[in-house]
Amino acid sequence: MKEHEIRPRALLDRYIQVSVEDIPRFFDPHRFAATACPGCASESAVAAFAKNGFPYVQCSACGSLYASPRPSREALDRYYRESRSSHFWATEFYPATAEARREKIFRPRAERIRERCASEDVAPRVVIDVGSGFGIFAEELGRTLPGIEIRGIEPGRTLAEVSRGRGIAVLECTVEEADAWAGQADLVTSFEVIEHVHRPEDFIAAIRRLLKPGGMALVSGLSIDGFDTQVLWERSKSIQPPHHLNFMSVSGFEQVFRRSGFSAVEVQTPGLLDVDIVLNALKEDAGLPLHRFHRLLLEHRGAEVHRKFQEFLAEARLSSHVWVWGRVDR
């Protein structure tokens, strides 16, 4: 998989532009409030950089990167309901990449979940997907695990309606507001949502409340420990407020899941795109300041070395794309 297949450059740049233009309409920096580390809850942090008017700090204890001070949950919720960038994502960006994402992301993701369930002798009957979007992943998981009842939680009205059109039951709210389904799921999934939320600990605790005793959760997100986020830092297009506020370290992910009530936690980084993302950044800006080793690796070694290095990053938990598996006690 290549970055341009799921994030075409022109569409991504337009999405970022619209997002930045939306900021003064929805956020007042004077009303931002400081927050503790979303990973380990430490209040000790050092300034990292500012982007689009959002200050980022790095936790002195676990290394997580996060926006602080930040907008309130109410301000963020309004932004995701009403902003032009959210509308652009739902009506232009996502539809243009939906089938590529089905093939490159959702179908392999569903198969990976099937393999995990088989290895742990888990046969989920009710699955809830938090941030279900257009419902394409739900469709693929239903094909991979026949007989499951799959539901969605999706606060966006347009996306919720599309999912319902695919025959998926949807709660049109945030997961923190989804107590109507508390204790009903054998498996809860959530992909690329946690980096957006106001308080990851509340988000994960809400996911836990959906689970039956012995249930399992899978949450994916972005880690600051990853190669591309470490190399590109504030130049990374992934670090793009107001959308992405939380970039926890591997340790931070582990700690927030345990603090939220999960008894068994495993963090994986099965990412495929770190090297390609940095290569693309170099194509856009040949003068990008890079360490000599990174330039040697990226500019003077071929595709086979890049492939092996990406495999190493995934195995060593050094990719920015994170999967966190959590189990609750029976």
The per-residue DSSP string of 37-106 comes to: -TTT----EEEEEEETTEEEEEETTT--EEESSB--HHHHHHHHHH-HHHHHIIIIIHHHHHHHHIIIII
Reported as a single tens digit per residue, the pLDDT across 25-83 is 999 999 999 999 999 999 999 999 999 999 999 999 999 999 999 999 999 999 998 99
Task: State the pLDDT at residue 177.
Answer: 94
Task: State the pLDDT at residue 4.
Answer: 85
Among 100, 72, 62, which residue's Cα sits nearest to residue 250?
Answer: 62
Mode of pairing for the β-strands spanning 211-222 and 149-153? unpaired
CA pair distance 318, 328, nearest whole angstrom: 26
First-residue to last-residue Cα distance in the chain: 38
CA pair distance 118, 137, nearest whole angstrom: 19
Burial degree of 115 (CB within 10 A; 0-12, 13-18, 19+): exposed
Q: 99-327 architecture in CATH?
A: 3-Layer(aba) Sandwich (3.40)
Residues 6+ apart with CB under 8 A from 273: 1, 2, 3, 228, 321
Reported as a single tens digit per residue, the pLDDT across 191-222 is 999 999 999 999 999 999 999 999 999 999 99
Beta bridge partners, 185, equal 211
**Backbone phi, then psi, for 50, in 5-degree steps?**
-120, 145
Centre a 10 Å sphere on the Cβ of residue 96 and count the other Cβ atoms it contains.
11
Task: State the pLDDT at residue 185.
Answer: 97
CA pair distance 196, 185, nearest whole angstrom: 23
Among 85, 15, 75, 37, which residue's Cα sits nearest to residue 246?
Answer: 37
Write down the domain spans for the chain.
99-327
| DSSP code at position 328 | -
CA pair distance 27, 119, nearest whole angstrom: 46
Task: State the pLDDT at residue 92.
Answer: 92
Q: Which residues of the chain have pLDDT under 50?
A: none
Helices 303-315 and 292-299, interaxial angle, to 10°? 120
Among 115, 167, 159, which residue's Cα sits nearest to residue 139?
Answer: 167
Locate tokens 């609750």: which residue?
328
Alpha-carbon dihedral sign for residues 282, 284, 285, 289: negative
Q: How much of the chain is helix, strand and coil, in % rounded to 5?
A: 50, 20, 30
CA pair distance 319, 270, nearest whole angstrom: 7
Locate tokens 């032009």: which residue?
84
Task: State the pLDDT at residue 158.
Answer: 84
